[in-house]
Structure 1
Amino acid sequence: MKKLKKVLLVIAGILLILLIGVYIFINSLKPDYDGEKKLSDLTGEVNVYFDMYGIPHIYADKQEDAFRALGYVHAQDRLWQMELLRRVAKGKLSEVFGKDLLETDKFFLSLGIDDHTKHTVSQLDMQSEMVVLSKAYLDGINEFIEKGPTPVEFYLTGLDKEPFVLEDIYDAVGYMAFSFAMAHKTDPLLTNIKNQLGEAYLKDLAIMSDTSTVWIKNYNNTVSDSLETNITASVINVMEKLPVPQFEGSNSWVLSPEKTKSGKVIFANDPHIGFAQPSVWYEAHVSTPDYEKYGYHIAGVPFPLLGHDRNLAYGLTMFQNDDLNFYYEQKNPSDSTKYRTELGWKDYEYVTKEIKVKDAETISFMYKKTRHGPVMNGVAKQVSGEIPIAMSWVYTKEKNEVMDALYGMTHAKDIDGFKAALPKIHAPGLNVMYGDADGNVAWWASAKLYTMPDSVSTKFILDGASGRQEPLGYLDFSKNPSAINPPWNYVYSANNQPDSIAGMLYPGYYLPENRARRIVALLDGKNDWDKESASKMILDVTSPVNPQLVTELIKLLDVSSLSDEQLVQVDALKNWDGAYTLENTNGLLYHRCEYYVLKNTFEDELGSEQFKQFLSTHLMKRQIAWGTKMKEGSWWDNITTKNEVETRNDIVLKSFADAWNSIVNDFGSDPNQWTWDKVHTLEHGHPIGRVESLRSFFNVGPFPLHGSREVINNMAFPYDSTGFYKVSAGPSTRRIIDFSDVENSISILPTGQSGNPFSKHYKDQAKLYIKGEFRKMMMNREEIQNKAESKLVFKPKSDF
């Protein structure tokens, strides 16, 4: 008995030691928000105050010191996110996640982002202020890598930490540029429709923006081959596997003094980006005697893409311009190493890359390039066929000065200095929104915009051999769409079509008018806006378009064939105001019907795979309202039914019946149970959270949430046969800056400031975000010091 007790005591002692060891280990992985640290190359002390949400307020005497401290604190909260983001363009995801990401790595390597980055960095002036501050930021990251705790994800994946370099900054920006591009999902699909089905089917698609839709108005004030389908499928497949969020859309509006209660500018912005954990933005307030910015940073980039100070505020939405084209190349029948141009045969350029694969041999692969860009055949396994198709992308063709643009934007003192930086943005195309304390409001569409020969549409795969479908040249930035202090007293963007420029409508992949129409209606109807009403507007969940579609389609229903329960719900839909609240039942029935209308209209011609691709495009979103109003058209007939020609009425009747049956199967026959909260949910997924046993630890959510796709509170979700709308993208932050009271401006993040799951700031904003609440963006130093939860002091090594 005594021996047993001794054995039990020994076992208990071992377990206690193990528990203590685990506790100590876990605590060692947490970010360090207080105390003193020495930091290399500092010229003076840097004080970092962390507020109650873990946002650093960095005070230094010199910008270089401030950016070193920024790099350190950014890395201790987001090093894993930084690591993944820099790996995308380099084709190094397979090294972390194994062979499942091999196709993704091949695709991104073939885009040439990393090669373009190397060329760009080789041409930089290393003494420029932009480079000096960028290197200081990287020094801070690398000091944390060397001396700080290793994030748990590195232990779980067996990955070693490696220093960051300038190339990593540009590769992160390059990935952001490609994730905006919509051409890769649309152009090959449209070409395939043209080749397989003919011009009549194209005529009935909303390829170009409807001339009756809501456009952004300018105002200048001196102040047949199956290969196409495979390309689309391939790109969608590799993008779906990415372990980092994609950039998608956005809202922003800036109100002139004439529209506000205080007589001062109010700025609002909520960029729409794929939800992930951690969320995309890292907030930081940096203050020195000659620089101050409260900014939003992407992982590994020193200058904030969104920001404000006491003088000005800026933000971004996606322009959605067409900066990526595909070209058919003509092979030389007697020499496979050459392709045809208008000047004769030209040699392919061959590029060989190696990809390290976790738990497998290193892979070597080769792709070829033409003058247009990489040939997609062979890059991904789905892409096969005889006709070479090359991808031409503005980002890798033109000089890359995006970082210089960001430096200029963040350091501008007024509207003129700010505008001067914008021509350096070549890609991705951005709607840059601006407001300042002097009462100026402005919008600029910033991108390298090119012109094409007459009658050439960039929405299809182009002829690469003749030279007759090549860009003619770039527009001067002064010809880009813009509005500066317009007489209607506001500027806005909802990724919708801008008005004509240089005598033409610039081609793009613009979103439908839904959000734009609601924004314009709300802004036009009120001239006493304040922070509270603006914050209410940014949470608006009402669609002005969907109830009109319901009214149109209900007319086509044969009410005599409907049951009493169906008649009640149809009547409720008829009186629906378009609001997507959690308890509402109309939204569920509407979206089920909408999905089945799309399915019953397009899937018979496109087939299941192409139909899935169609659902992923902005074209589909524009088609919903535009196409539903078409009384006649090629798509309405179901080509699989013999001796019958279906009409719009037939499709609507069948779709309503299909939708009704699917909802009854899912939720029962009581329509009171068909509430929006049962189908519309959000889970912030961490890459490690894909492992089911670790999901609850790394992921945040799921939560039911109000809103929907293409309302101001835009919660995007994919349409599929499940009928459950798992939100994939939405407001990555909501910001309201009121220049009558800048220090009380407000914001929110979807989950939390930290990407470290052991930090108390990993998900401390998640419930606030779901509830539509905000928190203060503090800028007053005395208030920050008095309310700070902790203080971290960085000192030069010489002080120790």
Structure 2
Amino acid sequence: MRTLKKIGALLLVLVTLLIIIIGIFAYTLKPDYSGEKKLVGLQEVVNVYYDDYGIPHIYGENEKDAFRTLGYVHAQDRLWQMELLRRIASGGLSEVFGKDLIGTDKFFLSLGIADASKITASKIDVNDEGVILAKAYLDGINQFINEGPTPVEFYLTGIDKREFVLEDIYNTIGYMAFSFAMAHKTDPLLTSINANLGPQYLKDLHVGSTVDTEWIKNYNPAPKDTIQNNLTAAVIKALSVLDIPLFEGSNSWVISPEKTKNGKVIFANDPHIGFSQPSVWFEAHVETPTYSKYGYHIAGIPFPLLGHNRKLAYGLTMFENDDVDFYYEQNNPANENQYLSKNGYVDYEIVHKTIHVKDADDVQFSYKRSDHGPILNGIADQVQGDRRIAMSWVYTEMENKVIDALYGLSHSNNLAEFKKSLPKIHAPGLNIMYGDNEGNVAWFATAQLYKIPDSVNTKLIYEVNKGLSLERELLDFNENPKAINPPSNFVYSANNQPDSIAGMLYPGYYLPENRGKRIVNLLEPKDDWDISAASDMITDVISSVEPDIVSNLAKYLDVSLLSENGLKAIDSLKMWSGDYNLSSIEATVYNRWIYYLLENTFEDELDEELFNQFLSTHFMKRLIAPLSKDENSVWWDNVNTTNVSENIKDIVNLSFMEAIASLEKDFGNNVNQWRWERVHSIEHGHPIGQIAALRSFFNVGPFPIHGSREVINNLAFAYDDTGFYKTTSGPSTRRVIDFSDVENSISILPTGQSGNPLSKHYRDQAEMYVNGEFRKMMMNEEEIKKSKEILTFKPKD
């Protein structure tokens, strides 16, 4: 017994020592929010004041020192995120996660982002002020890499840290440009529908724009100053293998002084991006004698994509324009390395790449390029077949000046200076929103647009030697959609269809009018807006369209077929305001009903695989409202039944009864238990959090959450047959800036400022976000300098 006690005591000591060692090790991996550091290349002392949410307020004597410091503090909270984002476009994920990511790496390498980044970086002017500041930012990152603690993810994946270079900045921007990817999800699918089912089926999908939806109106006054379908599967697989941010949509509105209580502009913006952990934005407030900005940074990019100071504010949403085209290529029957051009058969360019794979040999692969772009067949396993498909993408085909643009936007002092940088953004298409302390409000659609003949359908893969010519007639930026100080006294963007330009409605992958209509309905009648009302609006969860859809469908229901619960549910739905609060029963019933309506309408023609691809498209969301009143759609008939032709009434009734039965199965016969909070949840996933044992350490959540897709508080999800809606994207920040009191403007992040799971700021905003709460974006110097956590950087000899 005495021996056992000794062994037990020894084991206790060993366990205690192990816990202490682990604790000390973990402590050394935390970010430093106070103390003193020496920074190579620094000219003067820089002080970083951390507020209660871990946001750095950087005070330097010059911009170069400030951006060098920004790089360091950004890296100590987000180095793993920086590493992951720069690897996507350059085909470096397999080196971290192993052979399962080889297909994803092949796909992204074939897009040519990394090659375009290399060309751009080789041509930059090293004396350009933006480049100088970008390199200072990278120097700060690299000093942290060399001297700072290694984030725990590097230990878990076994990869080494390596320095950042300018190419990495462009690779991250390129990934951001591609992550929208709606053309890849849409065009091949529509081509397949057109080829296999016929043009009537395509027409009844209501893919094009219509005159009865809410458009973003142009206003340009006189200036005040002088693969077929399997390609879709390949893209979905490539983008879904990891929890990484995908750019989806967004809201923004800017209210003129004439409509605000205090007579100053109010600016609101909430970019909708795929949820991940860490969240996409890193907030940093930088002050020097020549630069002042409270900015939102993407990991590895020196200049903020969203920002404000006392003079102006800017933000963005996705424009959703079509900047990708697909072309069939015809191989030479006598030589598979040639394709038919307008000048006869010519050689494909053969591109060779190497992929490093964790715990395995390198993978060598090659792909072909035509004059249209990379041939996608064979790059991903899903893209097979005899017909070769090439991809043409504006982003990789034109000179890249995006960094110049971001530098210019972040350093602008007024509307005239701000506008000068906008034409430099050729892709991705962005809606840039603007407001200032002089009372100006503006919206600009930024992208390189071009003339598209009426005869060209950009939503289909072009046949050989047809479609849009590569010698395109480019539009001048002045022709892009825009509104500057319009008579409405507000501007907005919600990814919906912009008004016509250059004699055409510009083709794109626009989202339905739902959010745009709600925004306009709220803004138009009210002339006393303040920050409280704007913050209520940015968390609004009422659909302006879905009650009308219910009304359209309900008239086809045969109440004699409904159960007691079915009758209760439809009676409640008829009174529904479209509110997506946690206790809503109607929201749960509506979404179950719509899923079964879509499944019963489309799956028989498309089959299960194509139907699931259909559910991932934007046009599916736009389709629901017009479909609900389209009695004559060819899609209503179930092609799998014989001797009967189903109509809208048949499908509506079948779908509603299936929805009720599924809810009874999941939650019982008590309708009051069918609350939205039981089916709609949010969890912020970390790539390593996909390992079950590490999920609770790296992931944040899950939480039940109000809101839904295509309400202003756009907490979106994918439909599937489970009937449970795990939120995949939504507001990546909510920010409201009131120029009557800039220092008390407000914001929130979905999880926390830090990407380091050992930091106290890893998840400290998550519940506030779920509850629709805000915190101050501090800009008052006296208040900031009362911080208890100060990290001082001094020049290193």
Shift of 1:472: 2.7
Which deviates the most, 71-80 or 233-242? 233-242
Query: Are the aligned partners of 1:56 and 1:283 in contact in 2 as well (CA < 8 Å)?
Result: yes
Shift of 1:11: 3.5
Distance 2:321 2:471 in 1: 15
Distance 1:386 1:683 in 2: 41
Query: Are the aligned partners of 2:134 and 2:302 in contact in 1 as well (CA < 8 Å)?
Result: yes
Q: Does 1:543 align with 2:543?
A: yes
For residues 461-497 of structure 1, the C-alpha deviation after alignment (integer angstroms, 9 at most, x for no partner) is 0134257654532100000000000011000000000
Residues paired across the two proteins, number:
794
Which residue of structure 1 lines up, in the alignment, with residue 728 of structure 2? 728
Distance 2:788 2:274 in 1: 31
Q: Does 1:711 align with 2:711?
A: yes
Shift of 1:767: 0.6
Shift of 1:238: 1.0
For residues 660-716 of structure 1, the C-alpha deviation after alignment (integer angstroms, 9 at most, x for no partner) is 111111111110000000000000001110000000111100000100010000011
Which residue of structure 2 lines up, in the alignment, with residue 219 of structure 1? 219
Q: Give the structure-1-normalised TM-score.
A: 0.98
Shift of 1:318: 0.2
Q: Give the structure-2-normalised TM-score.
A: 0.98
Which deviates the most, 205-214 or 170-179? 205-214
Would the alpha carbon gap of residues 255 and 299 (structure 1) be closer, same or farther in structure 2, given more than 3 Å must change?
same
Distance 1:89 1:614 in 2: 26
Distance 2:277 2:773 in 1: 19
Which residue of structure 2 lines up, in the alignment, with residue 123 of structure 1? 123
Shift of 1:618: 0.3
Which residue of structure 2 lines up, in the alignment, with residue 524 of structure 1? 524
Listed as ranges, the matches of 1:483-522 within 5 Å are 483-522=483-522
Which residue of structure 2 lines up, in the alignment, with residue 622 of structure 1? 622
Query: Are the aligned partners of 1:409 and 1:421 in contact in 2 as well (CA < 8 Å)?
Result: yes
For residues 476-525 of structure 1, the C-alpha deviation after alignment (integer angstroms, 9 at most, x for no partner) is 00000000000110000000000000111000000000000000000001
Distance 2:577 2:243 in 1: 38
Query: Are the aligned partners of 1:31 and 1:759 in contact in 2 as well (CA < 8 Å)?
Result: yes
Which residue of structure 2 lines up, in the alignment, with residue 643 of structure 1? 643
Listed as ranges, the matches of 1:604-623 within 5 Å are 604-623=604-623
Distance 2:241 2:280 in 1: 17
Distance 1:20 1:202 in 2: 65
Would the alpha carbon gap of residues 653 and 67 (structure 1) be closer, same or farther in structure 2, given more than 3 Å must change?
same
For residues 53-91 of structure 1, the C-alpha deviation after alignment (integer angstroms, 9 at most, x for no partner) is 000000000100000110000000000000000000110
Q: Which amino acid aligns with 1:117?
A: S
Query: Are the aligned partners of 2:294 and 2:307 in contact in 1 as well (CA < 8 Å)?
Result: yes
Distance 2:691 2:71 in 1: 30
Query: Are the aligned partners of 1:181 and 1:323 in contact in 2 as well (CA < 8 Å)?
Result: no
Would the alpha carbon gap of residues 468 and 183 (structure 1) be closer, same or farther in structure 2, given more than 3 Å must change?
closer
Which residue of structure 2 lines up, in the alignment, with residue 797 of structure 1? 796
Listed as ranges, the matches of 1:92-103 within 5 Å are 92-103=92-103
Is the partner of 1:463 in helix, strand or coil? coil
Q: Does 1:43 align with 2:43?
A: yes
Would the alpha carbon gap of residues 315 and 468 (structure 1) be closer, same or farther in structure 2, given more than 3 Å must change?
closer
Distance 1:328 1:8 in 2: 73
For residues 375-396 of structure 1, the C-alpha deviation after alignment (integer angstroms, 9 at most, x for no partner) is 0011011111111100110000
Q: Which amino acid aligns with 1:506?
A: Y
Shift of 1:600: 0.4
Listed as ranges, the matches of 1:377-456 within 5 Å are 377-456=377-456
Q: Does 1:248 align with 2:258?
A: no
Q: Which amino acid aligns with 2:689?
A: G
Q: Does 1:576 align with 2:569?
A: no
Listed as ranges, the matches of 1:268-417 within 5 Å are 268-417=268-417
Shift of 1:10: 4.0
Distance 1:565 1:17 in 2: 61
Shift of 1:209: 1.7
Distance 1:790 1:464 in 2: 64
Would the alpha carbon gap of residues 337 and 563 (structure 1) be closer, same or farther in structure 2, given more than 3 Å must change?
closer
Is the partner of 1:81 in helix, strand or coil? helix
Listed as ranges, the matches of 1:149-164 within 5 Å are 149-164=149-164
Shift of 1:345: 2.0
Q: Which amino acid aligns with 1:92?
A: G
Is the partner of 2:373 in helix, strand or coil? coil
Q: Which amino acid aligns with 2:633?
A: G
Query: Are the aligned partners of 1:433 and 1:442 in contact in 2 as well (CA < 8 Å)?
Result: yes
Which residue of structure 2 lines up, in the alignment, with residue 534 of structure 1? 534
RMSD of Structure 2 on Structure 1 (CA)? 1.1
Distance 2:578 2:454 in 1: 41
Q: Which amino acid aligns with 2:640?
A: T
Which residue of structure 2 lines up, in the alignment, with residue 694 of structure 1? 694
Which deviates the most, 467-476 or 545-554? 467-476
Q: Which amino acid aligns with 2:791?
A: L
Which residue of structure 1 lines up, in the alignment, with residue 235 of structure 2? 235
Q: Which amino acid aligns with 2:220?
A: N
Is the partner of 1:377 in helix, strand or coil? coil
For residues 582-626 of structure 1, the C-alpha deviation after alignment (integer angstroms, 9 at most, x for no partner) is 011000000000001100000000010000000000010010001
For residues 239-296 of structure 1, the C-alpha deviation after alignment (integer angstroms, 9 at most, x for no partner) is 1113411000000000000010011000000000000110000000000000010000
Query: Are the aligned partners of 2:451 and 2:475 in contact in 1 as well (CA < 8 Å)?
Result: yes
Is the partner of 1:302 in helix, strand or coil? coil
Shift of 1:21: 1.1
Q: Which amino acid aligns with 2:654?
A: K
Identity of aligned residues (%): 64
Is the partner of 2:228 in helix, strand or coil? helix
Query: Are the aligned partners of 2:452 and 2:468 in contact in 1 as well (CA < 8 Å)?
Result: no
Distance 1:238 1:496 in 2: 26
Query: Are the aligned partners of 1:77 and 1:756 in contact in 2 as well (CA < 8 Å)?
Result: yes
Which residue of structure 1 lines up, in the alignment, with residue 592 of structure 2? 592
Q: Which amino acid aligns with 1:528?
A: D
Shift of 1:6: 5.0
Would the alpha carbon gap of residues 132 and 468 (structure 1) be closer, same or farther in structure 2, given more than 3 Å must change?
closer
Query: Are the aligned partners of 2:372 and 2:470 in contact in 1 as well (CA < 8 Å)?
Result: no
Is the partner of 1:434 in helix, strand or coil? strand
Shift of 1:452: 2.5
Is the partner of 1:474 in helix, strand or coil? coil
Which residue of structure 2 lines up, in the alignment, with residue 634 of structure 1? 634
Distance 2:515 2:65 in 1: 43
Is the partner of 2:570 in helix, strand or coil? helix
Is the partner of 2:229 in helix, strand or coil? helix
Q: Which amino acid aligns with 1:299?
A: A
Query: Are the aligned partners of 1:101 and 1:241 in contact in 2 as well (CA < 8 Å)?
Result: yes
Which residue of structure 2 lines up, in the alignment, with residue 204 of structure 1? 204
Distance 1:665 1:555 in 2: 26
Q: Which amino acid aligns with 2:730?
A: G
Query: Are the aligned partners of 2:255 and 2:267 in contact in 1 as well (CA < 8 Å)?
Result: yes
Query: Are the aligned partners of 1:580 and 1:706 in contact in 2 as well (CA < 8 Å)?
Result: yes
Is the partner of 1:473 in helix, strand or coil? coil
Q: Which amino acid aligns with 1:62?
A: N
Q: Which amino acid aligns with 2:152?
A: V
Distance 1:739 1:279 in 2: 27
Shift of 1:14: 2.9
Which residue of structure 2 lines up, in the alignment, with residue 89 of structure 1? 89
Is the partner of 2:779 in helix, strand or coil? coil
Shift of 1:16: 2.9
Shift of 1:552: 1.1
Which deviates the most, 352-361 or 450-459? 450-459
For residues 726-782 of structure 1, the C-alpha deviation after alignment (integer angstroms, 9 at most, x for no partner) is 000000000000000000000000000000010000000001001100000000110
Q: Which amino acid aligns with 1:475?
A: L
For residues 131-165 of structure 1, the C-alpha deviation after alignment (integer angstroms, 9 at most, x for no partner) is 10000000000000111100000000111100111
Q: Does 1:652 align with 2:639?
A: no
Query: Are the aligned partners of 1:341 and 1:467 in contact in 2 as well (CA < 8 Å)?
Result: no
- Structure 2: gaps (5+ residues): none
Which residue of structure 2 lines up, in the alignment, with residue 563 of structure 1? 563
Which residue of structure 2 lines up, in the alignment, with residue 743 of structure 1? 743
Distance 2:733 2:466 in 1: 47
Distance 2:7 2:460 in 1: 76
Distance 1:676 1:559 in 2: 24
